[in-house]
Amino acid sequence: MSVAGFEVSAPGKVILHGEHSVVYGKPAIAGPIGLRTYLTYKRLQSPEVILDFASIPFNSSLSLESFNAFLTQFDCHANLQPLEFLEKMRSADGFPFANFVTRQPAQDSIKEKFSLGTALYLLNRILRSEGVESLESGFQLTLKSVMSIGAGLGSSAGYGVCVSAGAFLLSKIIKGELEANFSLQNSPEVLEKISKWAFDSEIVMHERPSGIDNTICTYGNLIKFKRGKPFESLKLRQQVNILIVDTGVSRTTAKLVAGVADLKSRHPGMMDSILDAMGHLVDDVVSILEDDGDRFEELRTLVSINGNLLRAIGVSHPSLERIFRLAEESGFSAKLTGAGGGGCALVFLPQDYESSKEYAELTQNLTKAGYHWIQTTIGGQGVQLKPLE
């Protein structure tokens, strides 16, 4: 493989069922979608390291000397764990790596601060863990995503997977160990590392992630997931068609998770019952998805029930409710995906949706209401590597 450049990409994801309850040990179902995040690596002739976050947009750089000093003075592999780094990012002392970069994030931009901070943290953590403590040539990493940031489509996990895979490949290049026919998907031990590093990134981004997003974005395929246990690939018998509708309302996952935790602390009995119901619902959905028969009407009923359970724990939003109403008026069931509080809604579609006048009516009404939507299916590949000439 050429070491002059490569592209890594990772899919977005949607949680079909199990939002929030997965944090409390219940199962969830999630899968990748066709929207992806991309990282490109380019070797530079100049002695500098450039980090370009095209989707924000924001960029910063380090001289090669500063980057090597950064690797020497910080050991994010052995001495700085993700939660410790998160505390540094939240402190009033300023950007933790300010002494090394030429351009700091704007003080009022959380996206700039966490994009740059997490990228540098992962680069240090991964290079150090792979035995790399200095570089002899510069490089540029460019990150871009076709997903809305903060919409609940796994953009932060896709980002973490791409940076983790990119940093690992960079370590192989530096050590002269990147083989011409290397494939990420054919290297299970590497995928395990990438998923773990991306989970570290999710801790920095969200403090208490479930582990679903980094797993999906690394491995792909529809999975049933339970915290602390190996994920289970589902034997999907029929294509799952969905419409993803973006509310345009960004939200912070950590705040919504904290809100549910607060509600649970004040009403433990009631919340335990709701969370248990969410877990049982996931098991029922799995039996439907793995059945050869057409059980879409049952699936639609469970989608409506789950939507109401999520309303009950306070994670809906007026913009989501408008989408739900439009879907229901056209005969479809919809629910939020991800943390809620905005982000995206999923409308579940039958196999013959394309010839349905109700589907045409729904998409027209969504467009008139100012919502951006995309039709896609669930499933597909996880992280991918493509060499660049």
- Catalogue the active-site residues: 213
Q: What is the rounded CA–CA span in Å between residue 246 and residue 346?
A: 9
Assess contact for 226 and 26: CB atoms under 8 A: yes
Q: What is the rounded CA–CA span in Å between residue 208 and residue 78?
A: 21
Q: What is the rounded CA–CA span in Å between residue 17 and residue 57?
A: 32
Assess contact for 336 and 307: CB atoms under 8 A: yes
Assess contact for 23 and 210: CB atoms under 8 A: yes
CA separation (Å) from 108 to 53, 55, 104, 346? 17, 17, 11, 32
Omega of the bond prior to 27 within 30 degrees of 0, cis?
no
Sign of CA dihedral 267, 269, 272, 274: negative
CB atoms within 10 A of CB 71: 19
Q: What is the rounded CA–CA span in Å between residue 324 and residue 25?
A: 28
Q: What is the rounded CA–CA span in Å between residue 386 and residue 389?
A: 10
Q: What is the rounded CA–CA span in Å between residue 163 and residue 169?
A: 10
What is the DSSP pairing of strand 28-44 with strand 5-17? antiparallel
> CB under 8 Å to 258, separation ≥6 — which residues?
none
- The CA R_g of the chain, rounded to the nearest whole Å, is 21
Q: What is the DSSP string of 340-370?
A: -SSSEEEEEE-TTGGG-HHHHHHHHHHHHTT
Q: What is the rounded CA–CA span in Å between residue 302 and residue 45?
A: 57
